[in-house]
Amino acid sequence: MPAPKVLVVVFDGLRPDHVTPNQAPNIHGFATGGVWMRNTGSAFPSETRVQVTTSMTGHPPAGHGIMANAFYDPALGFSSAMDTSDDERMRAADKIYGRLIAAHHLSEILWGAGRKFAAVTTGKVGNARLLAGRAAELNQPVLSIWGDAISTPAANFAKVVDRFGPVPEQVFPNTGVADWAVKVLLEHTIPDHDPDACVLWLNEPDLSYHYRGLASGDGQSAIGAVDAGFGRILDWWRAEGRDAGWNIIAMSDHGHVTVEGQLSVAEALTAEGLKVGKALGPDVDYALKPGYSAHIAVRDRDPALIARLVETLQAQDWCGPIMTRAGAGDDGTLPISVVNWDSPRAADVAFTLRSWDRDSDGGLPGVILADNPDIPLGGGMHGGLNRRELNHCLFLGGDSFRKGVEIETPSGTIDVSPTILKTLGLPQHPLMAGRPIEEAFAVGDPAPDVSEQVHEAGRGGYAQKIVTATVGGAKRPYLRWGMRTT
């Protein structure tokens, strides 16, 4: 019997309620034929590059240090938040921190065990960097559509383009790029590099969800395109891949909710008399990283300035859950540790804008306010604590896993690397906060202990609730949902 291998296929942003026989027949058939993890959740903030790093390290931001798609840390000395797709700033941060990704990366662990790692990604520049870890130094192939400078040398981007043609232009829906990536995976990456663990990251339907809407024709076409690509992967798997030992983990990194309104947090806080800017300085008390999911570094971590900010946020109808470093409940905030964000790189105050469970105009539950002017009203968004964005897809299939079961036990993106290691027969890294999903394995523990925790805080007319779950074997709780309740 061949040694087990693992292929991870990511459909960025795909909502579980879109995995139906009509919309995504190949994905749905795989999910129902293997293991469908129903209550699986993203790390906070539920942004893509946080999930890339969480999936590839088995840690939340508290452990791996990638605090958001863009985050402001005064220790970096940058003039604004570092976008984790800004290659120059990421390289500088790697030198300042010593390690940009603070936790051990799956690619490093596999290298240390004498196993091979490879990846193909259509995501942004930062997606490739965070998928790779230190793969360039370890001679591991990570191929990015953004070219030779972003791909690792071992991926030999120029040779791939010579063979398969240039990467298609990115359009809505981004079907040509997805088709190109699947072809490269099946005809080059797997047969030529012979990895033990391989990741394919497709940036749809996330792209079309954002700019066209969750219920749009382009969004549905994007789902159809990645589903068709996955169908080709399944054809290969049934013909030869499974007999060669391949198991498949098919997943999305987060869900999506619909933008119902837009505002400028910077303008709103400035109107309240707060000195807000992009970086701390003599005339800036509050360095704001704006967005639906936002965070603020406070000058000198001054308790009086933090108290004023919190009181101001709580008085705004647009503000959702608020977390602070010291949050103990008496000021109406919750500690950042509740959402596994307790890192030295974390801001002093993290918050999201309001979200609700009600249906959008397109008929899909989950609507929000946002501070993301590039996203149109009716477009998709994620990053917060609404259950519809935290709940993502996670399906497992192959000889290592059970067949035809739905599992309600909480799990998350944090469990992907531990599950890969168990599938490959490798020991767990002792520091990983996630767990191998034992109940999904053909031979495993079918009933881990589960408990739920409710975290509530409020003051005056403001109240919030965040619900987490603890599962035996995991060192950190899973996020279920969070919302302002008044």
What are 147-184's pLDDT values in tens digits? 999 999 999 999 999 999 999 999 999 999 999 999 99
| Residue 382 DSSP SS3 | coil
Beta-bridge partners for 471:
450
Strand positions, DSSP E, 160-254: 197-202, 246-251
Contacts with 152 (C-beta within 8 Å, 6 or more apart), sequence order? 132, 135, 136, 139, 140, 141, 142, 143
pLDDT band at 473 (very low <50, low <70, confident <90, very high): confident
Instruction: Give me the pLDDT at residue 433, please.
Output: 97
User: Under a CB-based contact definition with an 8 Å cutoff, are residues 367 and 260 in contact?
Assistant: yes
Please determine, for residue 83, whether its predicted confidence score (pLDDT) is greater than 90.
Answer: yes
CA angle centred on 255, ends 251 and 257, rounded to 5°: 165
Which has the closest alpha carbon to 234: 50, 473, 397, 368?
Answer: 397
Domain map (residue ranges) of the chain = 5-66+101-256+382-440, 259-361+364-375
Please determine, for residue 447, whether its predicted confidence score (pLDDT) is greater than 80.
Answer: no
Which has the closest alpha carbon to 50: 135, 102, 127, 125?
Answer: 127
Query: Which pair of structure tokens corresponds to residue 179?
Result: 């088709």
Dihedral angle over CA of 21, 27, 30, 36, nearest 10 = -90
Q: Is the peptide bond before 410 cis (omega within 30 degrees of 0)?
A: no
5-66+101-256+382-440 against 259-361+364-375: fold identical: no
User: Under a CB-based contact definition with an 8 Å cutoff, are residues 340 and 331 in contact?
Assistant: no
Interatomic CA distance for residues 185 and 12, integer angstroms:
17
Instruction: Give me the pLDDT at residue 359, please.
Output: 97
Instruction: Give me the pLDDT at residue 444, please.
Output: 73
Tally of CB atoms within 10 A around 378: 17
Instruction: Say which CATH architecture domain 259-361+364-375 belongs to.
Output: 2-Layer Sandwich (3.30)
Q: Tokens 């619900």 map to which residue?
A: 467
Segments in 115-174 forming alpha helices (H): 125-132, 157-164
In this prediction, residues 235-241 reach a mean pLDDT of 98
- 288-320 CB burial, b ≥16 within 10 A, e <16: bbbbbbbbbbbbeeeeebbebbbebbbebeebb
Instruction: Give me the pLDDT at residue 301, please.
Output: 96
Q: What count of Cα atoms within 13 Å lies in the side-chain half-sphere of residue 193?
A: 27
Q: Above pLDDT 90, what percent of the chain?
A: 97
Strand positions, DSSP E, 203-272: 246-251, 257-262
Please determine, for residue 75, whether its predicted confidence score (pLDDT) is greater than 80.
Answer: yes
Instruction: Give me the pLDDT at residue 446, please.
Output: 75
For the whole model, what pTM was predicted?
A: 0.98
Which has the closest alpha carbon to 92: 103, 82, 104?
Answer: 82
| Average pLDDT along the chain | 97
Please determine, for residue 445, whether its predicted confidence score (pLDDT) is greater than 90.
Answer: no
Q: Above pLDDT 70, what percent of the chain?
A: 100
Instruction: Give me the pLDDT at residue 247, please.
Output: 99
Interatomic CA distance for residues 204 and 252, integer angstroms:
10
Instruction: Give me the pLDDT at residue 420, please.
Output: 98
What is the pairing mode between strands 365-370 and 355-359? Answer: antiparallel
Query: Which pair of structure tokens corresponds to residue 140?
Result: 């591991």
Interatomic CA distance for residues 9 and 454, integer angstroms:
33
CATH domain 5-66+101-256+382-440 topology: Alkaline Phosphatase, subunit A (3.40.720)
Please determine, for residue 329, whether its predicted confidence score (pLDDT) is greater than 90.
Answer: no
Contacts with 337 (C-beta within 8 Å, 6 or more apart), sequence order? 62
pLDDT in tens, 355-407: 999 999 999 999 999 999 999 999 999 999 999 999 999 999 999 999 999 99
Please determine, for residue 327, whether its predicted confidence score (pLDDT) is greater than 80.
Answer: no
Task: Round to the nearest angstrom and report the end-to-end CA distance of the chain.
Answer: 58
Beta-bridge partners for 353:
319
